[in-house]
Amino acid sequence: MNQKPDKLIPALYGGVIMALISAIPFINFVNCICCAGVMLGGFFAVFFYKNNFTPDTPPYTSGECMGVGALAGVFGAIIGTMLSLVTLALFGNITGEYMIEMLRKFDIPQEAFDAMEESMAVGMSFISIMIQLLSSLVIDTLFGLLGGLIGYSVYKPKKSIISPPPMPQPPQV
Amino acid sequence: MSKVEHRAYILILGCVILWCVVLFVPPIIAYVEEPSQEISHFSYRCFSSICHQFEMRSLSIFGHKLAVCARCSGIYFGALLGVLLYPFVRFGKHWSLRTLWIIAILPMLTDVLLNAVGIHTSSIASRLATGAFFGIGCAGILLPIAIEAVTNLLSHLSNQQGAQYESET
């Protein structure tokens, strides 16, 4: 039997998907639905991982899929933090501004808006970048792991039916 | 449940409880450091990537919103309830995975869509209830797979330790 395929490359692909969803303005709204974008990255990592399997390789396990999803989360957090810094430098916090504009339609006191604007003011200091990276590492790994488990539940390998060995024939007399 | 599976279940339960407890940390920090909001501001930002955190759509404790909105809180607390109930109740044992996912997400999706169309206005209670239903469903679907995965991992680790012990002696 062949050896199992490498987990690193599928996890990297999943991480890139995760990072793109998390860093591109407006697309990152997807993550407001319980980190759906991050889970999607973990899911796709498992999808790419299972595509590398051939009939000769032993089937993938739930533990491996969980690992691939978590690894995708680690990649996603690192790449995503770098990408979001780039988008922040290029476009500013346009997602936050759009959300505040959207909320102005509702009857909300000005103080609440001021607090919201203050909380959405994204800093580029070293501490804020490190906090973002660390929180992303924890959250993306956790939700990537969950995405990996969802991926396994969808692409669960079917148990092959092993036919029992033929019964020995009684010696003919 | 075998001994290893039981250990895996306890480990997962611990992680879910920890996650639910962590959601209370930012409002508690905000309450303790009042009127300054410097540390709590950072702690809220840690969760900003996973939730919109709108105050009017969130549950509050000590006058400060939780780390995530009411729907997300419902999902996480529902998941905790689902994990706690797992040893006693098994949901939809004979249903397909797709059916289970649809049943779990349907009330939440209905609440969101009816609110978007303007037929019904979502309240904190409806968000919390539909979120909790989805959370319980998620736990019911994913927990057996998670237990299997963690059991594999624990067995693999104990096998490795055994092999290392054998090679040393």
The C-alpha atoms of residue B73 and residue B19 are separated, in whole angstroms, by 11
Interface contact flag, B156 A150, Cβ < 8 Å: no
Number of structural domains (chain A) is 1
The C-alpha atoms of residue B57 and residue A146 are separated, in whole angstroms, by 25
Where does the pLDDT of residue A3 fall: very low under 50, low under 70, confident under 90, or very high at 90 and above? confident
Mean pLDDT to the nearest integer, A152-159: 78
Mean pLDDT to the nearest integer, B100-106: 90
Exposure string (b/e) for A62-73, b if CB count within 10 Å is 16 or more? bbbbbbbbbbbb
Contact B97, B141 (CB under 8 A): yes
Interface contact flag, B54 A136, Cβ < 8 Å: no
In this predicted structure, what is the pLDDT of residue B77?
Answer: 95
Contact A108, B56 (CB under 8 A): yes
In this predicted structure, what is the pLDDT of residue B162?
Answer: 78
Where does the pLDDT of residue A43 fall: very low under 50, low under 70, confident under 90, or very high at 90 and above? very high
User: A135 lies in a domain?
Assistant: yes
> A152 — contact with chain B (CB < 8 Å)?
yes
Higher pLDDT, B163 or B6: B6
The C-alpha atoms of residue A87 and residue B4 are separated, in whole angstroms, by 46
User: A165 lies in a domain?
Assistant: no
**DSSP of A76-137:** HHHHHHHHHHHHHHHH-SHHHHHHHHHHTTS---HHHHHHHHHHH----SHHHHHHHHHHHH
Contact A60, A53 (CB under 8 A): yes
In this predicted structure, what is the pLDDT of residue B10?
Answer: 94
**Residue B88 DSSP class:** T
The C-alpha atoms of residue A114 and residue A108 are separated, in whole angstroms, by 11
Indicate whether A96 pLDDT > 80: no
In this predicted structure, what is the pLDDT of residue A123?
Answer: 58
User: A92 lies in a domain?
Assistant: yes
The nearest CA of chain B is from the CA of A168 a distance in Å of 36
Question: Which residues of chain B lie closer than 8 angstroms to A146, CB-CB?
Answer: 142
Q: Which of A58-62, A95-99, B26-30 has the lowest mean pLDDT?
A: A95-99
Where does the pLDDT of residue A164 fall: very low under 50, low under 70, confident under 90, or very high at 90 and above? low
> B120 — contact with chain A (CB < 8 Å)?
no
The closest CB to that of B156, out of A63, A128, A150, belongs to: A63
Contact B167, B111 (CB under 8 A): no
Rounded to the nearest integer, the mean pLDDT of chain B is 88
User: A133 lies in a domain?
Assistant: yes
Q: Around Cβ A162, how many Cβ atoms within 10 Å?
A: 6
Higher pLDDT, A55 or A49: A49
**H/E run at residue A60:** none
User: A20 lies in a domain?
Assistant: yes
Mean pLDDT to the nearest integer, B130-148: 92
The closest CB to that of B46, out of A62, A131, A150, belongs to: A131
Q: Express each pLDDT in A4-41 by its tens digit.
A: 888 899 999 999 999 998 888 888 777 777 678 889 99
Where does the pLDDT of residue A161 fall: very low under 50, low under 70, confident under 90, or very high at 90 and above? very low
User: A132 lies in a domain?
Assistant: yes
**DSSP of B127-147:** HHHHHHHHHHHHHHHHHHHHH
The C-alpha atoms of residue B38 and residue B41 are separated, in whole angstroms, by 5
Domain that holds residue A50: 8-154
Indicate whether B161 pLDDT > 80: no
Rounded to the nearest integer, the mean pLDDT of chain A is 81
- Looking at this protein, which amino acid is placed at residue A112? A
B89: alpha, beta or left, given left = phi > 0 and alpha = psi -120 to 50?
beta
State which residue of chain B sits closest to A38, comparing Cα positions. Answer: B50
Indicate whether B16 pLDDT > 90: yes
Indicate whether A153 pLDDT > 80: yes
Q: Which residues pair with B64 in a beta bridge?
A: B61
State which residue of chain A sits closest to B150, comparing Cα positions. Answer: A63
User: A51 lies in a domain?
Assistant: yes
- State the pTM of this model: 0.81
Interface contact flag, A63 B46, Cβ < 8 Å: no
Residue whose C-alpha is closest to residue A32's, from B25, B75, B146: B75
How big is the A-B interface in CB pairs under 8 Å? 75
User: A30 lies in a domain?
Assistant: yes
Mean pLDDT to the nearest integer, A126-146: 87
Mean pLDDT to the nearest integer, B29-36: 84
The nearest CA of chain B is from the CA of A67 a distance in Å of 9
Question: Which residues of chain A lie closer than 8 angstroms to B42, CB-CB?
Answer: 128, 131
Six token digits for residue A107 = 């009857």
